[in-house]
Structure formats: structure tokens, C-alpha cells
Amino acid sequence: MTIEQILDDIKSPRVKKCILDSDMYNEMDDQYALAYCLGSEKIELLSVNAAPFYNGRSVDFETGMVDSYNETLRMYDYCGVSADDIPVYEGSRVKYTAENGYAPIDSPAARNIIKTVKESEEIIYVITTGCCSNVTSACLIDPSIKDNMCVIWLGGHELNHKDCHEFNLSQDYAAGQLLLNCGVPLVMLPADGPKGSLGGTIQLYITVETLKGIKGDGKAQKFFREELPAEYLPNEDGTPKIAEWDSNLGRVLWDIAAPAVLNIPDTFDFKIVPTPIFGDDKKYAFDRTRHKMIYMNRLNRERVLEDAFGCISRV
């Protein structure tokens, strides 16, 4: 499929088959993205891959992946989902490095992507809400899968930003470079723009009050409306439990933008542009002759939040 045909497919009403590739333990937005997928009537979630990460929530890259795997299973319990029905796969335990010639990193997650794509008669959308190590590896292990898949990735900043070096990209920068160079169809959802623009997924900020948009008294609804945010709120003495809530923005549910692409595509302003280059200097480089990708220019914050909370209310 051409990138134009993929955009047409994204905008079509048919149900899309998806894999969620997520660093589920890194932040609280991944959990909401998972619940969004489960409550969507336009997404058929086939499996979940655990993506690695390394920050204050993990002791190393591998531990971040294992914790993400376990956090996915914890979310399944709240959402009434069985891993027998929607399997979970462990992802990469190491980063891409020059020392091994940037060889693909084999893992159950990468193999899951390959197997799912090759067995499907329709395009598979890989919703990628963490670093792209698993997805990049799958594309390099078996380049033929690029003919029947599309990656929806939260990675990089807006193209007019001073640099491209946001969190998901920085976790495995070489994997991001390889992903943009390998030719796989890509929907890029930037995180942030130039100061004051609020043009990227950073618009999806919420407060505890905002989460009251999740309705219902089921186990999942109570968890996502009250219990999960409480895990991230400060302790009574003011010290952070997990991570501090920003005094102005609360928290940002970055990752719910990815399921929204398939659930309410008409709320996004998409552009088809030449795929940029993630330079070694952590800045964008541009070449008009490169293969094209779909780029999120703008989104409607209120509508994305409303739709996400509506889907979570149905879980």
C-alpha cells in the first residue's frame, strides 16, 4: 500500500487489527492507552509487546521492559482481560549499538510482530508508545513485513522544533534513526513544539478533575478514574510517590493520541511529508527525495480526551 492509501485506510470506518508496543511501566499514560484500545469499537487489539525504558522508574533498560510486561498483566486484571486471549510478549533487553553494527535485536516481541503481519491478509497497525526497539528489530529481521504494516509512533518533537530528541526517541536513538530509514510506513506523532506552541501530543494534559470524564462504577472505571492517578499523586508530606504532577499541566496522557488516530482520525490534521532524518547531532535533517510518511500536524485535545474516556468507560 502507498502512504496515501494507508491514510485513506486510517480514515475508513473498518475495524483495524493492532499490536500495542508499550513501555507500560514508564508512566501512567500507557495504561490509559491500553484501556482506550480495549474499549474501542474500531480497534481489534491482537497482542501487547513490552517495550524497554530506563529512567527513575527502572534500574536499567532490561528491567524497564520486564516491569512493563508485568504492568501490562496488572492492567489486564483491572480490565478483565486474559493473556490467553490477548497475549503479552517480552521485548528488547538491550539497545542498538555501533559495537554490534546496529544488528537487529531478536526478542519474542519482534517475532510477534513478524508472525502477526505475515499471517494477516489485512494491514497490521503497530501502535508504538515507547521506544521503537522492538518495531525496528522486526523490520530489520524481516524487511518483507513492511508491505503489510504501518507503525503509529509517538517519537520525536515537531519538525520545526530546535531538536528531535524527546523521551521515547532518546531511549534508543539509533533504533529511531533506523526506523525512519528502513522505509516502513509510519505515522509520526510528535511530542512537543517550539516554546509556547502546544502543537504536539503535549496538549493532552489532564488533572484529577479531568479524569471524572471516565464514567461508571466498574473495576476498570474506578481504577482509571481514581486509583491509578492516586498512585502518582504526592504523599501527604508533599514528597512524590512516583513522579510529581506539574503544577500547571497536571500530567500529560501523551500515549492516548495513538489509539485516537484509528478511533477518531477526523480529529487530526495529518500531512504527508518526506520522512525526516534523526541526525547524529540530535537535530532534524531534511531531504525532499526521501520516502514519505504521515505526520500529525495538529490534534483536537478536548475531543481526544472525551473519546478516550468514553472508550475506557466501556471497558
Question: According to the model, what pLDDT value does residue 197 have?
Answer: 74
Question: According to the model, what pLDDT value does residue 45 have?
Answer: 98
- pLDDT tens figures, 125-171: 999 999 999 999 999 999 999 999 999 999 999 999 999 999 999 99
Question: According to the model, what pLDDT value does residue 236 have?
Answer: 57
Kindly give the parts of the chain with pLDDT less than 70: 196, 233-249
Q: What is the 3-state secondary structure (H, E, C) of the chain?
A: CCHHHHHHHHHCCCCEEEEEEECCCCCCHHHHHHHHHHHCCCEEEEEEEECCCCCCCCCCHHHHHHHHHHHHHHHHHHHCCCCCCCCEECCCCCCCCHHHCCCCCCCHHHHHHHHHHHHCCCCEEEEECCCCHHHHHHHHHCHHHHHHEEEEEECCCCCCCCCCCCHHHHHCHHHHHHHHHCCCCEEEECCCCCCCCCCCHHHCEECCCHHHHCCCCCHHHHHHHHHHHHHHCECCCCCECCCCCECCCEEECHHHHHHHHHHCHHHEEEEEEECCEECCCCCEECCCCCCEEEEEEEECHHHHHHHHHHHHCCC
What is the pTM for the complete model shown? 0.94
Q: Residue 39: which CATH number?
A: 3.90.245.10
Per the structure, the count of domains in the chain is 1
Question: According to the model, what pLDDT value does residue 240 have?
Answer: 46
Residue 279 structural domain? 3-312
